[in-house]
C-alpha cells in the first residue's frame, strides 16, 4: 500500500454547534478503548475524536506531527516506531492516517453503518441500520477521495487508473463491497465516486425484526415454517429496503444440522449452522467464476439449502432447477413487487420455465419508510399460486402494524401449495397447523424472556438462536401432541 507523506494529521474536531442528539455512543462499541464519539440527530451523523476532549489536544497533535516526520523520513520500520508512541489515542490517529483509511475509519468501525457514499467536496452520506440516510460531518477533498480510492483498491489488489476507471471489489479487512468510478473521460474528468457497502458484524435475528415491528409474530412463524420445510422464498424490494437483512434473519431459522451453501457477489451472510459452505464469485483474472458457475456446481452437492445473495440473470434458471431437486432456497431479487419479479423471471434473458415458476409460492416484499424518528422497515408476505399473487400478511400504515389478509381464515388449510409440503414430508395439514401455532408460542415466549434481559434485543446472539429455537419448538410441539387441544 502506498503511503502519502503528509505530516499534517487530519483530526475529527468537535463541531462548534452540536446538533440535538437522539442517540450518543462511542466507537468501537463495547470496546475497552473508545476513540470516537458519535452523535446522531434527526438527519446528521456527527463523529469526533475523543482526544479532542482531553487537555491541550492541539499541543499533543503538533508534537505527534514532529515525531512522525522523523519516523517517516529517518526510521526504517514505521510500524515498530508507531508502537513506541505512548498515548494510545495519538498512536491510533497516526496509524489510521498512515496505514488505515483516515477519517472514514469510524464508519467502518460502527456496526450500524451499512453504507457510505463519498463524493469530493460534499459531506459523506452514510446509511444507518436504525436511522436510515444521514449526512455526516466529514467532507473529503478531491485529492483525499482519490487517495482513498487508490488505497482501497490496492488492499484488494485491483488496478485503478484513468485507463481502468471502473472497479468493484471486496475490501479484505472489513469484507466490505467497494465500488469506485475513478476520475476519467467517462466522468468528464469532473469527479470520483467511492461507494462502500458494509456487511453487519452482528446480523439482526428474527426476534430483533419482531422487536422493530418489521414482522409480527404470526408472520415470522409462517416464514419459519416455510424455511424449515424448504419452501423457496424470494425476497423482493428496492435498494436499501432490508432485503439482505431479512434474508440473514431467515437463515437463522434453518435447522442447525442442515448443509447449506451460500453464493454471493460479496460476503454478507453470516450463517449460524455448522455445515455451511460460503462461496463468492471471482470476477477478475483469467479464470473467472460467476454466480451461474457456483449455482451449477451446488446442485451436484448433497445440500439441504442453496442460498443466493441476489439473482439477476441466467443463474435463476439453475437456482430453479435446485428447487425441483428439493433443495431449500432463499434469495433476493431487485423488483418493486412480486408481480414485477415474476414478469422478469419469465422474460428473456432469464426465461425460467413456467412449470418451475409454479413452485415459487412465497414472496416477501420489503418496504422502508423514512420517519422523523428514523427509518422503519415493514415487510409483507405474498402467496403465488394458481397464476395469482395474493397478499397474506399486509402492512396497515394507519395502525403501523402487520395484519393477516382478512380473506384468509386459516392459511395452512386454505393454501393449495401446502399439500405439496405435506406430501413431501409425510405430514398432515393438521400437524403443520399445530407446528405453526407452536412456532408462534415459542417466538412470543423467547421474545418476552430476552427483552427483559436486553431491551434492544441484541441477545440471544445470531449464532445461538437456531439451537434455542429448535430445542424449544421440539419440546413445545411434543407437548401439544401429548396433550391435544379440544
The predicted-structure confidence for 107-125, as pLDDT tens digits, reads as follows: 999 999 999 999 999 999 9
- Separation between Cα atoms, residue 97 and residue 105, nearest integer Å: 9
Closest listed residue to residue 232, CA positions, set 324, 338, 370: 324
Closest listed residue to residue 440, CA positions, set 224, 181, 204: 224
Is residue 358 located within the same domain as residue 230?
A: yes
| 154 touches 176 (CB < 8 A) | no
pTM for this one? 0.88
Give the pLDDT confidence score for residue 377 in this predicted structure.
97
77 located within any domain: yes
Residue 3 has pLDDT above 50, yes or no: no
Residue 485 has pLDDT above 60, yes or no: no
| 401 touches 394 (CB < 8 A) | no
- Separation between Cα atoms, residue 215 and residue 394, nearest integer Å: 10
CB atoms within 10 A of CB 465: 22
- Separation between Cα atoms, residue 1 and residue 457, nearest integer Å: 40
**315-324 helix and 291-298 helix, angle to the nearest 10 degrees:** 10
Query: Who wins on pLDDT, 244 or 76?
Result: 244
Residue 1 has pLDDT above 50, yes or no: no
**Which position has the grid cell 483469467?**
286
Residue 405 main-chain phi, psi, to 5 deg: -55, 120
Q: What is the 3-state secondary structure (H, E, C) of the chain?
A: CCCCCCCCCCCCCCCCCCCCCCEEEEECCCCCCCCEEEEECCCEEEEEEHHHHCCCHHHHHHHHHHHHHHHHHCCCCHHHHHCCCCCHHHHHHHHHHHCCCHHHHHHHHCCCEEEEEEECCCEEEEEECCCEEEEEEEECCHHHHHHHHHHHHHHCCCCCCCCCCEEEEEECCCCEEEEEECCCHHHCCCCCEEEEECCCCCCCCHHHHHHCCCCCHHHHHHHHHHHHCCCCEEEEECCCCCHHHHHHHHHCCCCCCCEEEEEECCCCCCCCCCEEEEEECECCCCCCECHHHHHHHHCCCCCCEEEECCCCCCHHHHHHHHHHCCCEEEEEEECCCHHHHHHHHHCCCCCCCHHHHCCCCEEEECCEEEECCEEEECCEEEEEECCEEEEEEEEECCCCEEEECCCCCCHHHHCCCHHHHHHHHCCCHHHHHHHHHHHHHHHHHHHHHHHHHCCCCCCCCCCCHHHHHHHHHHHHHHHHHHCCCC
Closest listed residue to residue 331, CA positions, set 404, 269, 384, 240: 269
Closest listed residue to residue 296, CA positions, set 284, 306, 286, 282: 306
* Alpha carbon distance, N-terminus to C-terminus of the chain: 71
369 located within any domain: yes
Is residue 98 located within the same domain as residue 213?
A: no
Can you give the CATH number for the domain in which 349 is found?
A: 3.40.50.300
Residue 23 has pLDDT above 90, yes or no: yes
The predicted-structure confidence for 424-454, as pLDDT tens digits, reads as follows: 999 999 999 999 999 999 999 999 999 999 8
Is residue 281 located within the same domain as residue 388?
A: yes
Is residue 76 located within the same domain as residue 223?
A: no
Residue 461 has pLDDT above 90, yes or no: no
Domain count, the chain: 2
134 located within any domain: no
Query: Who wins on pLDDT, 267 or 343?
Result: 343
Residue 459 has pLDDT above 70, yes or no: no
Is residue 99 located within the same domain as residue 235?
A: no
Is residue 395 located within the same domain as residue 248?
A: yes
- Separation between Cα atoms, residue 429 and residue 401, nearest integer Å: 28
Mean pLDDT of the region 282-289: 81
Q: Which of 51, 86, 108 is where one domain is finished? A: 108
Q: Which of 377, 409, 441 is where one domain is finished? A: 409
- Separation between Cα atoms, residue 67 and residue 85, nearest integer Å: 9
Q: Give the cell for residue 315.
A: 443463474
Mean pLDDT of the region 260-264: 95
140 located within any domain: no
| 456 touches 199 (CB < 8 A) | no
Q: Pairing relation of β-strands 113-119 and 23-27? A: unpaired
Side-chain-facing half-sphere of 265: CA atoms under 13 Å? 16
User: What is the band of 2 on the pLDDT scale with cuts at 50, 70, 90?
Assistant: very low
User: Which residues on neighbouring strands pair with residue 379, listed in sequence order?
Assistant: none
The predicted-structure confidence for 128-176, as pLDDT tens digits, reads as follows: 998 999 999 999 999 999 999 999 999 988 899 999 999 999 999 999 9
302 located within any domain: yes
State the residue range of the domain holding 278: 206-409
Is residue 237 located within the same domain as residue 352?
A: yes
CB proximity list for 295: less than 8 A, separation 6 or greater = 263, 306, 308, 315, 318, 319, 322
Residue 482 has pLDDT above 60, yes or no: no
Q: Which of 70, 90, 108 is where one domain is finished? A: 108
154 located within any domain: no
- Taking only Cα atoms into account, the Rg of the chain, rounded to an integer number of angstroms, comes to 25
Is residue 402 located within the same domain as residue 260?
A: yes
Is residue 351 located within the same domain as residue 216?
A: yes
Give the pLDDT confidence score for residue 75 in this predicted structure.
62
The predicted-structure confidence for 48-96, as pLDDT tens digits, reads as follows: 999 999 999 999 999 988 888 777 776 667 788 888 888 889 999 999 9
470 located within any domain: no
86 located within any domain: yes
Q: Give the cell for residue 186.
A: 467517462
Give the pLDDT confidence score for residue 395 in this predicted structure.
98
| 37 touches 26 (CB < 8 A) | yes
Amino acid at each position: 500500500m502506498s503511503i502519502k507523506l503528509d505530516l499534517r494529521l487530519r483530526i475529527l474536531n468537535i463541531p462548534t454547534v452540536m446538533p440535538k442528539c437522539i442517540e450518543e455512543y462511542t466507537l468501537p462499541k463495547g470496546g475497552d478503548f473508545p476513540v470516537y464519539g458519535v452523535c446522531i440527530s434527526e438527519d446528521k451523523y456527527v463523529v469526533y475524536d475523543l482526544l479532542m476532549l482531553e487537555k491541550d489536544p492541539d499541543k499533543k497533535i503538533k508534537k505527534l506531527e514532529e515525531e512522525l516526520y522523523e519516523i517517516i523520513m529517518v526510521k526504517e520500520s514505521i510500524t515498530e516506531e508507531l508502537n513506541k508512541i505512548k498515548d494510545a489515542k495519538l498512536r491510533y490517529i497516526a496509524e489510521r492516517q498512515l496505514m488505515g483509511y483516515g477519517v472514514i475509519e469510524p464508519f467502518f468501525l460502527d456496526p450500524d453503518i451499512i453504507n457510505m457514499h463519498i463524493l469530493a467536496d460534499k459531506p459523506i452520506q452514510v446509511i444507518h441500520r436504525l436511522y436510515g440516510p444521514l449526512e455526516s460531518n466529514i467532507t473529503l477533498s478531491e485529492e483525499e477521495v482519490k487517495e482513498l480510492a487508490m488505497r482501497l483498491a490496492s488492499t484488494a489488489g485491483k488496478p485503478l487508473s484513468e485507463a481502468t476507471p471502473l472497479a468493484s471489489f471486496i475490501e479484505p479487512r472489513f469484507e466490505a463491497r467497494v465500488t469506485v468510478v475513478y476520475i476519467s473521460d467517462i466522468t468528464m474528468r469532473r469527479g470520483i465516486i467511492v461507494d462502500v457497502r458494509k456487511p453487519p458484524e452482528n446480523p439482526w435475528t428474527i426476534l430483533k425484526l419482531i422487536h422493530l415491528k418489521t414482522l409480527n409474530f404470526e408472520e415470522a412463524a409462517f416464514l419459519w415454517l416455510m424455511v424449515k420445510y424448504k419452501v423457496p422464498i424470494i425476497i423482493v424490494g428496492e435498494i436499501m429496503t432490508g432485503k439482505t437483512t431479512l434474508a440473514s434473519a431467515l437463515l437463522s431459522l434453518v435447522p442447525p444440522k442442515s448443509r447449506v451453501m451460500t453464493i454471493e457477489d460479496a460476503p454478507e451472510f453470516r450463517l449460524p449452522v455448522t455445515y455451511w459452505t460460503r462461496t463468492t464469485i471471482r470476477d477478475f483474472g483469467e479464470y473467472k467464476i460467476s454466480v451461474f458457475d457456483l449455482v451449477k456446481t451446488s446442485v451436484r452437492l448433497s445440500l439441504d439449502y442453496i442460498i443466493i445473495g441476489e439473482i439477476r440473470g441466467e443463474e435463476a434458471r439453475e437456482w430453479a432447477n435446485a428447487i425441483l431437486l428439493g433443495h431449500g432456497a432463499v434469495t433476493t431479487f431487485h423488483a418493486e413487487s412480486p408481480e414485477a419479479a415474476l414478469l422478469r423471471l419469465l422474460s428473456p434473458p432469464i426465461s425460467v420455465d413456467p412449470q418451475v415458476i409454479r413452485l415459487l409460492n412465497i414472496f416477501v416484499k420489503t418496504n422502508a419508510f423514512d420517519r422523523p424518528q428514523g427509518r422503519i422497515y415493514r415487510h409483507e408476505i405474498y402467496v403465488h399460486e394458481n397464476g395469482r399473487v395474493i397478499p397474506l400478511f399486509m402492512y396497515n400504515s394507519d395502525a403501523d402494524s402487520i395484519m393477516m389478509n382478512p380473506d384468509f381464515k386459516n392459511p395452512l388449510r386454505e393454501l393449495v401449495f401446502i399439500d405439496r409440503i405435506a406430501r413431501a414430508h409425510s405430514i398432515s395439514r393438521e400437524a403443520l397447523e399445530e407446528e405453526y401455532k407452536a412456532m408462534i408460542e415459542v417466538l412470543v415466549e423467547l421474545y418476552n424472556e430476552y427483552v427483559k434481559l436486553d431491551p434492544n434485543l441484541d441477545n440471544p446472539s445470531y449464532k445461538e438462536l437456531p439451537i434455542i429455537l429448535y430445542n424449544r419448538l421440539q419440546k413445545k410441539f411434543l407437548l401439544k401432541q401429548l396433550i391435544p387441544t379440544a
